[in-house]
């Protein structure tokens, strides 16, 4: 038996074998561990004596045949193909590059000046919408995300876009699901009413405990932002669900502390992502931060298990997103849909694969005036996980899909060379999620709780 495509996970008291080539997994009992978690070939003679002292030949052979069958089956699975052209069904519209905060890790500084204007005009925005609607003419839905800077600083343009979409889709066309990511400072009651009335879902970027938020996300004038945000968001949290998206920096690596603070405030769900490519390098996660980060994620997983046993799936999006995929047996070929099914439009009308590629001329995906550059889109469609040199043999590949292509380019100068720290954190979250799932799968109400937890 070739053990090289079997990865063993031991998390939360569970031992699990993952077959990388199929993205399947199964729990191991003591015999399974004795057979698989040994350094030598499990069917070699050196193991025979040791195993036969503990188990019958029938038991051992049955286990080995089952594994070999699963490995054989994995090799016959159909390969992913990119024969057809993908539809770009998600568009980020950078309505402004202006922001009233100066977050220390923000990438805006690096891309500042790459757009020839700060505020997107109605003419550019409407052309972008025309492009999105034309691309999705045969689809039922597509997604438009208002991005920035702080997008609500250009509310007049957002209003114009909303009116234009209503006009254009009055009689036919896809339903446009609209979302906005705000820093929370602009979420006044009037702005929230406007978003609600137009069914624009919103999430808040917020980094947790006051000393962290105030230190990392000061205002332009250097003012503290924790109270500024909570004065707006606090009253809303009692009435509705709002997602908080936190960025983890070396200033506080105890991710559980961040996440619990936000959950206690009432945010639901809560997501926390490490800062990797930052303007201020002191905010960037480094290799020696990984142990503290993984310890924090482990504590979160343990608390999720305890919470679930008490009847509640805690709303930690980092886990619930993976748990949902495990539950639905969904495999991934892409980490995100960057460039292949997603694009981002800068204020001057230039189109890029996503909001982190602003101003990168090598990956410019067209303009709102001339449409999409399909050869750049093709390049991203080809970056599926089975086709990436750094990913195609990774045990986690069908759970991961290849993570962030921007980070691969930023750190390794190649969209197909994954960034190692990004991989390490994902594998940690995946291992914990699989361990957790083995405890909770089959529990009544799990499907509903997962559904609810993902409903951002
Ligand atoms: S990005 Fe990293 S973790 Fe994900 S499949 Fe590629 S090598 Fe594996
Ligand atoms: S490439 Fe990276 S930054 Fe861009 S959308 Fe994907 S995950 Fe986000």
Q: Is the minimum distance from the CB of 426 to ligand 1 under 6 angstroms?
A: yes
CA of 31 to the centre of ligand 1 (A): 30
With b for 16 or more beta-carbon neighbours within 10 A and e for fewer, the 112-144 pattern comes to eebbeebbbbeebbbbbbebbbebbeeeeebbb
**What gap in Å lies between CA 180 and CA 186, rounded to an integer?**
12
Three-class SS state of 248: strand
Q: Are 357 and 406 in contact (CB under 8 A)?
A: yes
CA of 332 to the centre of ligand 1 (A): 11
pLDDT (0 to 100) of residue 82: 78
| Exposed / middle / buried, residue 22 (Cβ in 10 Å: 0-12, 13-18, 19+) | middle
Give one DSSP letter per residue of 272-303, joined into a string: EEE--S-SSGGGS--GGGHHHHHHHHHHHHHH
Q: Is the minimum distance from the CB of 418 to ligand 1 under 6 angstroms?
A: yes
**What gap in Å lies between CA 158 and CA 166, rounded to an integer?**
12
Q: Is the minimum distance from the CB of 423 to ligand 1 under 6 angstroms?
A: yes
CA angle, residues 259, 430, 81, in degrees to nearest 5: 125
Q: Is the minimum distance from the CB of 385 to ligand 1 under 6 angstroms?
A: yes
Backbone phi and psi for residue 124, each to the nearest 5 degrees, phi listed first: -65, -45
CA of 342 to the centre of ligand 2 (A): 10
CA of 322 to the centre of ligand 2 (A): 17
Give one DSSP letter per residue of 198-233, joined into a string: TTEEEEEE--SSHHHHHHHS-BTTS---HHHHHHHH
| Most informative mutation of 426, 430, 433 for ligand 1 (most atoms within 8 A of CB) | 426
Q: Is the minimum distance from the CB of 354 to ligand 1 under 6 angstroms?
A: no
Find the ligand nearest to 332 CA.
1
Q: Are 323 and 443 in contact (CB under 8 A)?
A: no
Find the ligand nearest to 418 CA.
1
**What gap in Å lies between CA 416 and CA 403, rounded to an integer?**
10
**What gap in Å lies between CA 161 and CA 320, rounded to an integer?**
33
| Closest-lying ligand 2 atom to the alpha carbon of residue 342 | 5
Q: Is the minimum distance from the CB of 390 to ligand 1 under 6 angstroms?
A: yes
Q: Taking the chain, what is the end-to-end CA distance rounded to the nearest angstrom?
A: 44
Q: Are 142 and 86 in contact (CB under 8 A)?
A: no
| Closest-lying ligand 1 atom to the alpha carbon of residue 402 | 1
CA-proximal residue: ligand 1, atom 7 (nearest) = 391
| Closest-lying ligand 1 atom to the alpha carbon of residue 390 | 7
The DSSP bridge partners found for residue 183 are none
Which of 91, 92, 103, 43 has the alpha carbon at shortest distance from 67? 43
Q: Are 287 and 421 in contact (CB under 8 A)?
A: yes
Cβ neighbours of residue 195 closer than 8 Å, sequence gap 6 or more: 180, 201, 202
pLDDT (0 to 100) of residue 75: 83
**What gap in Å lies between CA 279 and CA 111, rounded to an integer?**
10
Around ligand 2, the residues with Cβ closer than 6 Å are 336, 338, 354, 356, 404-406
Q: What is the pLDDT along the chain (456 residues), one digit of tens a residue?
A: 777 789 999 999 999 999 999 999 999 999 999 989 876 565 566 667 888 889 999 999 999 999 999 999 888 888 887 777 899 999 999 999 999 999 999 987 666 667 778 999 999 999 999 999 999 999 999 999 999 999 999 999 999 999 999 999 999 999 999 999 999 999 999 999 999 999 999 999 999 899 999 999 999 998 999 999 999 999 999 889 999 999 999 999 999 999 999 999 999 999 999 999 998 999 999 999 999 999 999 999 999 999 999 999 999 999 999 999 999 999 999 999 999 999 999 999 999 999 999 889 999 999 999 999 999 999 999 999 999 999 999 999 999 999 999 999 999 999 999 999 999 999 999 999 999 999 999 999 999 999 888 665
pTM of the predicted model, to two decimals?
0.94
Q: Inter-axis angle of helices 420-440 and 317-327, to 10 degrees?
A: 60
**What gap in Å lies between CA 454 and CA 439, rounded to an integer?**
20
Which of 294, 380, 340, 262 has the alpha carbon at shortest distance from 11? 294
Tokens of 434: 């699989």
Q: Is the minimum distance from the CB of 402 to ligand 1 under 6 angstroms?
A: yes
């Amino acid at each position: 038996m070739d053990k090289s495509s079997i990865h063993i996970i031991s998390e939360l008291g569970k031992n699990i074998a993952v077959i990388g080539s199929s993205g399947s997994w199964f729990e191991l009992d003591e015999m399974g561990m004795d057979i698989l978690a040994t350094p030598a070939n499990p069917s070699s003679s050196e193991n025979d004596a040791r195993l036969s002292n503990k188990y019958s030949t029938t038991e051992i052979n049955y286990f080995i045949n089952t594994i070999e069958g699963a490995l054989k089956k994995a090799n016959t699975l159909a390969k992913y193909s990119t024969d057809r052209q993908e539809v770009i069904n998600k568009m980020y519209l950078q309505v402004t590059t202006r922001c009233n905060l100066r977050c220390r890790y923000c990438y805006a500084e690096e891309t500042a000046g790459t757009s020839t204007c700060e505020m997107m005009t109605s003419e550019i925005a409407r052309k972008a919408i025309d492009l999105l609607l034309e691309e999705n003419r045969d689809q039922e839905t597509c997604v438009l995300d208002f991005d920035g800077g702080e997008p609500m600083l250009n509310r007049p343009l957002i209003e114009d876009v909303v009116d234009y979409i209503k006009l254009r889709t009055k009689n036919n066309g896809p339903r446009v699901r609209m979302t906005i990511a705000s820093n929370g400072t602009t979420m006044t009651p009037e702005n929230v009413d406007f978003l609600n009335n137009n069914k624009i879902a919103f999430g808040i970027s917020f980094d947790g405990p006051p000393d962290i938020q105030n230190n990392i996300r000061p205002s332009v004038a250097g003012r503290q932002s924790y109270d500024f945000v909570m004065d707006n968001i606090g009253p809303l949290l009692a009435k509705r669900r709002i997602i908080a998206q936190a960025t983890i920096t070396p200033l506080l690596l105890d991710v559980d502390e961040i996440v619990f603070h936000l959950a206690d405030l009432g945010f639901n769900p809560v997501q926390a992502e490490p800062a990797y490519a930052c303007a201020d390098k002191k905010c960037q996660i480094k290799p020696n931060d990984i142990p503290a980060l993984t310890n924090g994620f482990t504590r979160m997983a343990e608390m999720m298990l305890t919470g679930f046993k008490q009847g509640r799936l805690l709303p930690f999006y980092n886990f619930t997103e993976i748990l949902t995929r495990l539950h639905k047996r969904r495999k991934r070929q892409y980490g995100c849909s960057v460039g292949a099914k997603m694009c981002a439009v800068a204020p001057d009308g230039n189109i890029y694969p996503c909001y982190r590629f602003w101003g990168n001329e090598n990956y410019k995906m067209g303009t709102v005036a001339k449409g999409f550059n399909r050869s750049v889109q093709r390049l991203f469609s080809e970056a599926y996980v089975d086709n990436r040199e750094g990913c195609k043999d990774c045990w986690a590949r069908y759970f991961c899909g290849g993570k962030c292509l921007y980070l691969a380019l930023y750190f390794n100068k190649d969209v197909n060379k994954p960034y190692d720290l990004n991989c390490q954190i994902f594998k940690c979250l995946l291992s914990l999620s699989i361990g957790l799932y083995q405890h909770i799968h089959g529990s009544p109400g799990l499907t509903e709780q997962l559904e609810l937890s993902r409903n951002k």
